[in-house]
Amino acid sequence: MNKIINAKILCVLYDDPVGGYPTNYARDDIPKLDTYPDGQTLPTPNDIDYTPGTLLGSVSGELGLRKFLEDRGHTLVVTSDKDGSKSVFERELVDADVVISQPFWPAYLTAERIAKARKLKLAITAGIGSDHVDLQAAIDNKITVCEITYSNSISVSEHVLMMILALVRNYIPSYKWVIKGGWNIADCVSRSYDVEGMNIGSVAAGRIGLAVLKRLKPFDVKLHYTDKHRLPYEIEKELSLTFHESVESMVKVCDVVTINCPLHPETEHMFDEEMISKMKRGAYLVNTARGKICDRDAIARALDNGHLAGYAGDVWFPQPAPNDHPWRTMSNHAMTPHTSGTSLSAQSRYAAGTREILECWFESKPIRNEYLIVDEGKLAGAGAHSYSEGNVTGGSNEAEKFKTTN
């Protein structure tokens, strides 16, 4: 097959730090990894044009792609302006061959946008989670959709543990008393408990969910999970896992529930008023999967009326969340912007994976099966295992409100 020449690559990344792109970093290097826990090798591009451990995910970082692309005669357009009909993304999309976006600052590829992008053949998620693409429209238009499977799964699992501990131990309010100059021990501990002995359940036990369960095991907790793909008996025995056939069955017995499943039509708004009502009073909910798996207003009400003791996550819908999003101000939350999967360590991996995919595509070589979500008009690879056909981008246009309120 012929090589692809003179392609236009449109890359949407989040803004640089408010103080400017960094000239130095807190650490001089990051650990070097060769394989992921399941034996899958890390991305293997022919070369990289960046220093691992640097800020690659913002506009100035460009995922380390500019030299690689321009040396081969391709055009790279990088922007953070992604929302609304007058955005740079909308304007440049019409003749783009490739779109690269991140889950943290997603360029929503709706059916309407795909219809305008007559040349679009490849959509790459720099990270994991391709729900910001209308997968049904990609299937119908035979657009290949890829993500860098496993590149930041462990990053997210570490974030989950941090958030569980932050909620249960009431860390954030305690920290705020220090900032205020106080020594208010009673105020700090009046909502603080031990994780030890609690029942903790994971919605899904894929790469992230299983990593979370493994990391929770040393805390002497009782572990539960539910997944449409049940784990092997050996793993259940090793981790002392209790399997549940349904989410409803699991949440009834859990003190902490962590959501680790992809967003697709079957999981959209899974945690609605009815599901939350089945959870124990005083349970904690941690969501680093996707914001739209939870009903926005039902979560806020459950915190305000005390049915949930706390909610933590770094995923919202849409992203970025408008200033009036109720999760910014609801009671007893520990929200962050979508940062769990874009640590400097993770950026190095998903930047390398993005280049690996582009190298394959330009040379008309097969893309790793693990990276495929949609290919040749159907779900494929990781997509066939984890997603369902359909679209969950509805309502993403509200992300434009962030531009008008900031």
Task: Report the share of the chain in percent with pLDDT over 70.
Answer: 100
- 152 among known catalytic residues: yes
Inter-residue contact 104 to 131 (CB < 8 Å): no
118 token code pair: 């007559």
pLDDT tens track for 192-221:
999 999 999 999 999 999 999 999 999 999
Q: Model's pTM, two decimal places?
A: 0.96
Is 2 considered catalytic here?
A: no
Q: Is 325 a catalytic residue?
A: no
Strand partners, 201: 224, 257
Exactly one of 102, 136, 152, 347 is catalytic; name it. 152
- Please say if the pLDDT value at position 1 is more than 60: no
Domain 153-335 has CATH 3.80.10.10: no
Query: Percentage of residues in the chain with pLDDT exceeding 90?
Result: 97
- List 290, 333, 349, 368, catalytic entry: 290
Instruction: Please report the beta strands in 244-376, taking only residues with DSSP state E, as ranges in sequence order.
Output: 256-259, 283-287, 308-313, 333-335, 372-375
Domain with CATH 3.40.50.720 in the chain: 8-151+342-381+388-395, 153-335
Task: Count Cβ atoms below 10 Å from residue 386 Cβ, excluding itself.
Answer: 22
Averaged pLDDT for residues 230-234: 98
Mean pLDDT of 138-158: 98
Dump pLDDT digits (tens) for 22-67: 999 999 999 999 999 999 999 999 999 999 999 999 999 999 999 9
Q: Among 3-12, 59-68, 72-81, 92-101, which stretch is predicted with the lowest mean pLDDT?
A: 3-12
Confidence of residue 2 (pLDDT cuts 50, 70, 90): low
**Could you give the CA distance from residue 181 to residue 236 in angstroms, rounded to a whole number?**
47
pLDDT tens profile 340-384? 999 999 999 999 999 999 999 999 999 999 999 999 999 999 999
319 is catalytic: yes
Q: Which residue among the candidates 207, 338, 355, 368 is catalytic per the annotation?
A: 338
pLDDT at 173 over 80: yes
Task: Report pLDDT for 403.
Answer: 81
The residue behind tokens 């359909």 is: 390
Fold of the 8-151+342-381+388-395 domain: Rossmann fold (3.40.50)
Catalytic, out of 319, 332, 347, 391 = 319
